[in-house]
Structure 1
Amino acid sequence: MQSFLRWVGLVILETFRLNILLTGGLGYVGSHVAVVLTEAGHQVTILDNLSNCKHAVLDRLTKILGKEPTFIKGDVRETSLVESILKTHSIDSVVHFAGLKSVGESVLDPMLYYNNNLIGAISVLKAMQLCRVKKFVFSSSATVYGSPQYLPIDEMHPLNPESPYGKTKLQIELILRDLVASDSGWKVVALRYFNPVGAHDSGLIGEEPNGTPNNLMPYISQVAIGALKRLKIFGSDYETLDGTGIRDYIHVMDLAEGHQAALEYLSEPSEPLSIINLGTGYGCSVLDLLKLYEIASSRRIPFEVTERRPGDIASCYANADKAFKRMGWKSKRSLKNMCEDSWKWQMSQALKK
């Protein structure tokens, strides 16, 4: 009886075992998704040009997983390369992370973003068409909403991205709409992230920005470790309880599990294109996050208040009900977990220097 049950288990595992291509899979979110999918029994192939990450991430993934993931160095804009990978590795699903992601940089150099993000996505989709691979999970962003007209933000909120980065995300979503309308064989989920933070609880992988961080938590962590002198808080006169901006911070491992849920959802009868928010559904102010990080790190974090940045808004947080209704997913990890795991990652990096 036990051998029969084991055989049934192996059959079930093999039935749901996917061969997945992660474009940009050594980046911050992609590397965490690689861990979740591999541990779930799927075969993961990573394609990355290393423009915004380090090859050392592959070694760290190997330590976490106990085996080295399949990795190919290359650019998604090389359609023939993507096509070759899809064929060689019998890929049946693609999760597309590859692209540039700094709002500020996109304002300064919009052509760089249109070149990388739009052409890259079109290249991947073209290769998939050629290989008849039609399951696609897209790494989109809550920046497509622009300034909130109401809170919490659901998927029906008007779309008004205010940066070239956000516009590239929306344009790719529009391409996906046209694609599924032209061919009913496609199954696509576009995941609109809010604010990913934290790290894997091993402390081996986490957010590793080049230069001065653009995002709040890595900036706080570098002040806590002593790499930066103080945190700059841009504005303290917003219409919030403490005057600082409120955002929806989601643990990167919750986000990674959202991608697993999306891939499982694509294996079920579902609509051709699903647009789904990934967030916690609640907001946290800059000062509240700072205080939580001080507790997690047992360090005082100096800060100074400066002028508001152009385009910044008072509050932004998600309505993530659709993710639970459609995919059975919701965030599980607390802000305390996010700060503790971020600090563990930051300390592990400091010990290497």
Structure 2
Amino acid sequence: MTILVTGGAGYIGSHTCVELLQAGYDIAVLDNFSNSSPEALRRVSEITGKEFPVYAIDLLNLDELDRVFSNHTIQAVIHLAGLKAVGESVSSPMHYYYSNMTSTFHLCETMSKYGVHRFVFSSSATVYGLPESVPITEKFPVGATNPYGRTKQMIEQVLQDLYASNPAWGISILRYFNPIGAHKSGRIGEDPSGIPNNLMPFITQVAIGRRDQLTVYGNDYPTSDGTGVRDYIHVADLAQGHLRALEKCLSAPGLDIYNLGTGKGYSVLDVVRAFEKVSGRTIPYTVVDRRPGDIATCYADPSKAQHELGWKAVRDIEEMCEDSWQWQLRNPEGYKEMVTTSQANGPRGFLVAPSLGV
């Protein structure tokens, strides 16, 4: 039985694959590599000592998705694939709505066709929009303020309607906050294309000399230092949350929503200072206007996940910064692509193995 991971070559996906393989699961990965590298999956194989099939296809291609399901006995799907930049979603909303929604429709349709009813969905705290208070519980009303967040909110509703129509489904919706950090080995981490949209890779690229200074979007928020406050969670903790959610889905049908965060809020400048402490580097920055769709303060109440999944984030902000820095130090230009394909799993599939690369 196989766990299909969509978007498995991405930042969160690659770390989730490590956790799944180390827990003894067989996996298959589907990724279109539009914002990720096959090298990440080769390194996942290197870290775990295990090989797994990878399909370089897009979820928008329904026929190729069908072939993936026909090649494997799939037990469950962890769905991480999707466009994710808030600013880009504001400037290109139709692209986001079409890609994120249609790809999920295709996935759910194909799962239903093959009788696969266990699903972990990568949602986001952005669905909460402008919360009236913090910490945020899963019972808070949703009201995303940007197209990216609205795609997540809409997909959540689709999944709730899907479960209502067929209670055989087991679905975990994970609303996670702001992942940073990297695998302790320094072999996999966050490697964005172009100018980073997220805070930590921007900081690390300044520290390594790839960029001159950090851009801070707004210092006039009603926070302790005027910069936005977020709940930063180590990506390894987040990946383990996916494993716990999968186990919950596999145990019984049902639909549950979980916040994955630390329950602590740090401002942009708090993170900068923590990074400077562990790295010994000074991070110059300049302040510009707020980004459209951003909010002042957002952090989780993660107690439901702790109670029902037995999961809790355990790594602190300094460890998050240290692991991010070690990733950047060891990979100053991010991933170097070394791609070797094998047709062992069909015309668009290839194997990742310690001896093969990808």
Q: 1:134 & 1:205 partners in 2: Cα distance?
A: 30
**Residue identity matched to 1:334:** D
Q: 2:56 & 2:89 partners in 1: Cα distance?
A: 24
Of 257, 260, 278, which aligns to 2:260? 278
Higher helix share goes to which structure? Answer: 1
Of 248, 266, 284, which aligns to 2:249? 266
Which structure 2 residue ranges, 5 or more long, are not aligned? 337-358
Corresponding residue of 2:341: none
Q: 2:95 & 2:296 partners in 1: Cα distance?
A: 29
Of 33, 51, 71, which aligns to 2:16? 33
Distance 1:69 1:296, change over 3 A: farther
User: Does 1:59 find its partner at 2:59?
Assistant: no
**Residue identity matched to 1:349:** N
CA contact (8 A) 1:58 1:69 kept: no
**Residue identity matched to 1:324:** Q
User: Does 1:132 find its partner at 2:118?
Assistant: no
The alignment covers a number of residue pairs equal to 335
CA contact (8 A) 2:170 2:252 kept: no
Of 78, 81, 102, which aligns to 1:98? 81
Of 261, 264, 277, which aligns to 1:295? 277
Question: What is the correspondence of 1:225-240 to structure 2 with a 5 Å cutoff?
Answer: 225-240=208-223
Corresponding residue of 1:47: 30
Q: 1:232 & 1:124 partners in 2: Cα distance?
A: 37
How far 1:216 moved relative to its partner?
0.7
Corresponding residue of 1:73: 56
User: Quick one: higher RCO (CA 8 Å, sep 6+), 1 or 2?
Assistant: 2
**Residue identity matched to 1:115:** Y
Q: 2:89 & 2:329 partners in 1: Cα distance?
A: 31
Q: 1:182 & 1:217 partners in 2: Cα distance?
A: 41
Question: What is the correspondence of 1:316-327 to structure 2 with a 5 Å cutoff?
Answer: 316-327=298-309
User: Does 1:348 find its partner at 2:330?
Assistant: yes
How far 1:351 moved relative to its partner?
7.4
How far 1:312 moved relative to its partner?
2.7
**Residue identity matched to 2:261:** G
CA contact (8 A) 1:25 1:47 kept: yes
Q: 1:187 & 1:310 partners in 2: Cα distance?
A: 36
Corresponding residue of 1:14: none
**Residue identity matched to 2:152:** K
TM-score (norm 2): 0.91
Q: 1:310 & 1:102 partners in 2: Cα distance?
A: 12
Of 167, 171, 190, which aligns to 1:188? 171
TM-score (norm 1): 0.92
How far 1:175 moved relative to its partner?
0.6
Q: What is the percentage of aligned positions where both structures have the same residue?
A: 50
Q: 1:67 & 1:311 partners in 2: Cα distance?
A: 41
Distance 1:261 1:338, change over 3 A: same
Corresponding residue of 1:329: 311
User: Does 1:213 find its partner at 2:213?
Assistant: no
**Residue identity matched to 1:278:** L
Instruction: Show structure 1 runs of 4+ deviating over 6 A.
Output: none
CA contact (8 A) 1:83 1:128 kept: no
Q: 1:154 & 1:309 partners in 2: Cα distance?
A: 25
Q: 1:257 & 1:44 partners in 2: Cα distance?
A: 15
User: Does 1:251 find its partner at 2:234?
Assistant: yes
